Structure 1
Amino acid sequence: MTSPDDPQPFSLRSIAVAAFGPTLLFGIGTGAVMPVVALSARDLGASVAVAALIVTLIGLGSWFFNLPASLVTLKFGERWSIVGAAAAAALALVAAALAPQLPDGIWLLAAAMLVVGMSSSVFGLARQKYLTEAVPLHYRARALSTLGGVNRIGVFIGPFAGAAVIQFAGLSGAYWVGVVAMVGAALLSVTIPDLEVPAPKPGADVGPQPTLRSVAVSHAGVFLSLGVGILLLSALRSSRQVVIPLWADHLGMDATQASLIYGISGAIDMLVFYPAGKLMDRRGRQWVAIPSTAIMGTALLLIPLTGGFTGLLLAGMLIGFGNGISSGLVMTLGADFSPDRGRGQFLGLWRFMADAGSTGGPLLLSGVTALATLGAGVSATGVLGFAAAAVFAVVIPRLKHRRNY
C-alpha cells in the first residue's frame, strides 16, 4: 500500500520484532508481578491499606514521571530510552525479589514498584514516539493499535507465567519471571533501528528547542478539547477493570466465576485491536473513538441491571469489545496532533492527562459508592463513556484538518 505522500511501500512486518517484541516482553514482565505485589507486601508485614498503597505506587510513578520521561527521551533518543527503561525495571524487580531477605524489606519493595512505574512511563513514551515517526501516516493507527494490543497480550500472559514459577519458587518466582522478561525486552530493544533525523532546510529558522511550557501553551486548544475526551476515556477504562470483580462479589459469586468473566472479557479485548486500527486508518479516528466509548458506557449502565452470572458475562463481553476496539486510540490521537518539533514534550503532557484519568476513574467509582450505592457508582462511570463519546463527536471532526501538522 502506498500513498502520494509516502511512495515507498511499507509493511508492519518489517518492524514487527524490533518494535513490538520489547512491548510484548515488557507487558509479560509487568503482568507477572502485578497480582503478587500486594501479597508480597502483606508477607512483609504491611497492613491492607499499606499494601494497596504500594500497588498504587506503580501507577503514581508512571503518572508523575510522564513529563520527565519526555526529557529523558529527548536527551537519549528513543532506542536507548527504551533499553534503559527496560533495564531499570529489571533491576527494580531484582530488588523486589530480594526484599523478603532484607530487614525493612517493605521499603525496598515500595521503592522498586515506584521505579517500575517510572520505567513504564519512559518505555511507553519512547516506543510511542518511535512508532509515530517510523510509520507512515496511513499506517499509524494500525501500528499504534497493534502496539497497544501486543502490550495487553503480554499483560494477559504474564500472570500465567508468574503462577507457573510460583509453584516452585514461591512469590519471588513471579518477580524473577519479570526480571527475565525485562532483560529480554532490553536486549531486543538494542536491535531497534535508529530513526533518520531529517536535515533542516537551507535557510530555515530552526529557533530555540521547545519546552514543556511552550508546547503546553501553543497546543492548549488541543489539550483543553480533545485532551478532555482522552481523560474521560482513560477514566472509563480504569473503572471497568474494577467494576466486574466488585459487581460479581455484590452478586455473591465466588472468585472462580468472577475470574472467568474477567478473563473472557479480556480475551475479547485482545482479538479486535487490528481491525479497529485499520478502520481508523481508512475511515477516520472518530469511527472508533465514538462507538468504543458509547459501547463501554452502555455496558457499564447495564451492569447494575444484571442479577446473575450470564447477565454479567454478557455485559463484560460488551465492555471487552468496546475497550478492544479502542486499543491504541489514545496513542494515535496523541501522535496525530503532536508537532514535529516538541513531539516528545507534547506526548509527555498527553500521557500525563491520560494517566490522570486512569487515576480519577476508580476514585469516582469509590466516591459515588461511598455516598450512595455500588450500582450508582457503576452507573456514574458509565456516564463517562457517553461524555467521552460526545467530546469526540464534536472535537475530532473540528480538529481533523490539523492532523498532519
Structure 2
Amino acid sequence: MSAAAGKERGALRIILAERSVAAVIALALFINLGTGIVLPILPLYARSLGADYGQTGLMVGAYYFARLMSDIAAGAVLRRLGVRRAAAAGLSLLAIGALLTGLSPSFPIALICWAGAGAGGGTVFAAMYNALILGVAKERMARALSLFYGAFNGGVVAGGFLGGVVAGRFGLNVPLFCLAAIAAGLAAVMLRMLVESPHPALPQGGRETVPRGRETALRGTENSVRALFRIRGFGGSVISVLANLWMFGAVFNTLVPLFARDVLHLSTFGIGVLYAVSLAAEFAVYYPAGKWADSRGRRFVLIPAFALLAVATMILGWSPTVITFALVMALLGVASGFAGVPPAAMLADVLPEHESARGVATFRFGADLGYTLGPLVAGLTAASVGFKAAFITAGLPSVIALVVVTRGRETLPRSQTA
C-alpha cells in the first residue's frame, strides 16, 4: 500500500512540476473563487432588477451563451495570441464585464454586461484546457484533470459560502465587484506565470502520425470540425461534458437559489451553505474519479456517475425540507464529481496534438452549450410549469449521455487499464 501511495505521490509531483500546468491549476482555483462568489447570488440579483424566472434563466445563460460564441473563435485566438496572452485578455474582459454588471441600473444593461464577462471567461477556459492537454501525458491526464477540477471546485466551494456572506452583509451586487477585482489581479499574474505551449512539430509532409482508427477520420478533411466527430470517442466526450454542465447550469446556477429562497425560504447565507455542502461532496470525489478513470477506464467511472446524476437531479424538486434538500444536493455533488473528470480525459485520449486548438474549442463549445441551454430551459420551465418539472428536464441530458457512453467504446488504451 505504501508503494502504491508513493507511486501516486510521484505522479502528482510530475504533473505539478510543469510550471504551466501548475499555473493553470492555480488559475482554476482563484478564477472560480471569483465566479463562485457570484453564482449563488446572480439569480437573486437578476430578480432584484425586476426579472421573472424566465429572465433570470436568461441572465444566467447569457454568460455561458457568450462563452459559447467565444468558443467558436477560441482556436484562432489561441493560435494568434498564444495561451499566455489569450488568458490575460480573457481575464481582463471578464473583470470589466463583472464590474459593469454590478453597476448596471437595469436588467437589460446588466444582461449585456454579464454576457461580455462570459466572452472573457470563454477565452480563459479555452486557454486553460489547451495548456493542460498539451502539457500532461495521456497516462496521467485524468489525475491531472482531477487536480484541475479539484482546484476549480475548491474555488467554487469557498466562493459560494463567501458569496452568501458578502451579499447578505453588503448587497447583492458586491459579489460582482469581488469577481472583477480577482480577475483583474489574475490577468497581471498570469502574464508572468503561464508558459507558452510550443506548437507540436509535425513529421515530414506536415501531418502528425496518428493511430489507424483516427487516420481515416482525419484524412482529407483535417480543417473540418466534422472530421473530429468521426474520431471514435470524441463525440462521446462532447456529449458527456454537455450533459454534466447542462445539469450544473440548470440546477446549481439557476434552480437551487430560486427553489431555496422561494420554496424553502432560505437566506442568502443559507443558500451559500447549501452550495458549500454539495460542492464539498463533489470536491471529495475528484481525485478518486481521476485515479479510477486512469486505471480502470473512462466508462467504468462515467456509466454509474450519469445514472446517479440523472436520478438525483430529477428527485431534487420533491425535497420537502431543507435537510432532505441538502442531502440530495450532496448526492448530486458526488455524481457530478465522478461525471466531471472523464470527458476531458476522453478528449485527450483521442485528439491528435495538431488538432488541439480546434478540438478543445469544439469540446468547450459543447460544454458552454450545456451551460447556456440548461439555465434557459430551467428558468422557462420553472416559470411555466413549476420547479418539479424543471428539475426533471434538467436531468434528461444525463440520461442521453448515459446511453451514449454505455453504447460507446473505452478510449483509454488497454495497456493502461488495470
Q: What TM-score do you get using the length of structure 2 for normalisation?
A: 0.78
1:226/1:396 contact within 8 Å kept: no
Aligned length: 392
Which residue identity lines up with residue 182 of structure 1 in the other structure?
A: A
AA paired with 2:266? A
Q: CA RMSD in A?
A: 3.9
1:361 to 369, 374, 380: 374
5 Å-filtered alignment, 1:132-281, equals 132-162=133-163, 170=171, 173-190=174-191, 191-201=193-203, 203-206=204-207, 214-222=223-231, 224-241=235-252, 242=254, 244=256, 252-256=263-267, 260-281=273-294
For 1:299, the equivalent position in structure 2 comes to 312
Tell me by how many angstroms 1:272 deviates: 1.6
Per-residue deviation, 1:81: 1.0
CA distance in structure 2 between the partners assigned to 1:306 and 1:108 by the alignment = 35
Q: Which residue of 2 aligns with 1:392?
A: 405
Give unmatched runs, 5+ long, in structure 1. none
- What is the alpha-carbon distance in structure 2 between the residues aligned to residue 301 and residue 171 of structure 1? 29
Distance in 1 (CA, whole Å) between partners of 2:158 and 2:109 is 26
1:147–1:328 contact (8 Å) kept in structure 2: no
Paired AA for residue 219 in structure 1: L
Q: Which residue of structure 1 aligns with residue 32 of structure 2?
A: 27
1:93 matched residue in structure 2? 98
Question: What letter corresponds to residue 218 of structure 1 in structure 2?
Answer: A
Q: Given that residues 162 and 177 in structure 1 are in contact (C-alpha distance below 8 angstroms), is that contact kept between their aligned partners in structure 2?
A: no
Check the 8 A contact 2:58/2:376 in 1, yes or no.
no
Q: Which amino acid aligns with 2:79?
A: L
Q: Work out the CA distance in 1 between the residues paired with 2:100 and 2:377.
A: 34
Q: Distance in 1 between matches of 2:276 and 2:198?
A: 41
Equivalences for residues 342-357 of structure 1 within 5 A = 342-357=355-370
Structure 2 alignment gaps of length 5 or more: 209-218
What CA distance in whole angstroms lies between the structure 2 residues aligned with 1:402 and 1:115? 44
Matches of 2:100 and 2:261, distance apart in 1: 34
Kindly state the Cα deviation for residue 121 of structure 1 after the two structures are TM-superposed: 0.7
For 2:33 and 2:185, the matched residues in 1 are separated by 11
1:229 positional shift: 3.8
Deviation at 1:392, TM superposition (A): 0.9
Residue of structure 1 in register with 2:14 after alignment: 10
Residues 296 and 181 of structure 1, relative CA distance in 2, 3 Å threshold? same
Q: CA deviation at 1:113?
A: 1.2
Q: Assess if the C-alpha contact under 8 Å between 1:161 and 1:177 holds in 2.
A: no
1:117 aligns with 2:121: no
Q: CA offset at residue 83 of structure 1?
A: 1.5
CA distance in 2, matches of 1:245, 1:169: 18
Shift of 1:92: 2.6
1:330 CA drift (Å)? 3.2
Change (3 A) 1:338 1:402: farther
Q: Equivalent residue for 1:308?
A: 321
Change in CA separation of 1:144 and 1:11 when aligned onto 2, cut-off 3 Å: closer
Residue 76 of structure 1 aligns with which residue? Answer: 81
Single out whichever of 340-349 and 115-124 deviates more from structure 2. 340-349
Deviation at residue 116 of structure 1 after TM alignment: 1.0
| Structure 1 residues 99 and 388: alpha-carbon distance in aligned structure 2, compared to 1, 3 A threshold | closer
The answer as to 2:352 corresponding to 1:339 is yes
8 Å Cα contact 1:226-1:395 kept in structure 2? no
Give the C-alpha shift of residue 96 in structure 1. 3.6
> Secondary structure of the equivalent of 2:196?
coil
1:308-350 per-position Cα deviation (integer Å, ceiling 9, x unaligned):
3443333222111111223333332233332222211121112
One-letter amino acid matched to 1:357: G
- 1:65 correspondence with 2:70: yes
The answer to whether the 8 Å contact 1:25/1:184 transfers is no
Tell me, in whole angstroms, the C-alpha distance in 2 between the residues paired with 1:372 and 1:199. Answer: 55
> Structure 2 CA distance, aligned partners of 1:82 and 1:126?
6
Task: Map Cα deviations across residues 358-385 of structure 1 (whole Å, 9 max, x no partner).
Answer: 3333455566667866445434544543
C-alpha distance in 1, partners of 2:224/2:125? 20
Q: TM-score, normalised by structure 1?
A: 0.81
1:328–1:188 Cα change, 3 Å:
farther
Deviations 1:17-50 (A, max 9, x none): 422112222112222334555566666x654465
Aligned-residue offset at 1:221: 2.7
